[in-house]
Amino acid sequence: MMPSQMGPIPYLDADAIRAGERDYPGLLAAGIQTLQAAGLRPDYLEIRNALDLLPVTADSKCLVILAAAFLGKTRLLDNLTVDITAPATDNGKSST
């Protein structure tokens, strides 16, 4: 399958993070499995503090999910900011 033929892959549940899930190692493990099940070879999947890219702490309020995976020889990158201070809306996006 060509990258242009693939739809979005929900590799990490950002809505769960917005709703209060803080088992980041568990979310990352599930995300790696999701990428592999989609036929991708994960390079990395991280949840970091969006302001300085340091590991998340209990005080982190704005996170970034960083992902890279290979589809054949093509390396795909994705970054998703997750504001955990704002409540999730019906469409799963933060209200900020």
Rounded Cα–Cα distance for residues 76 and 63 (Å): 20
Write down the H helix ranges in the chain.
14-18, 24-37
Rounded Cα–Cα distance for residues 73 and 41 (Å): 10
Domain coordinates in residue numbering, the chain: 3-83
pLDDT of residue 2: 46
Rounded Cα–Cα distance for residues 41 and 89 (Å): 32
pLDDT of residue 8: 63
Global pTM reads: 0.78
Whether 13 shows a pLDDT value over 70: the answer reads: yes
Does domain 3-83 fall under CATH 3.40.50.970? My reply is no
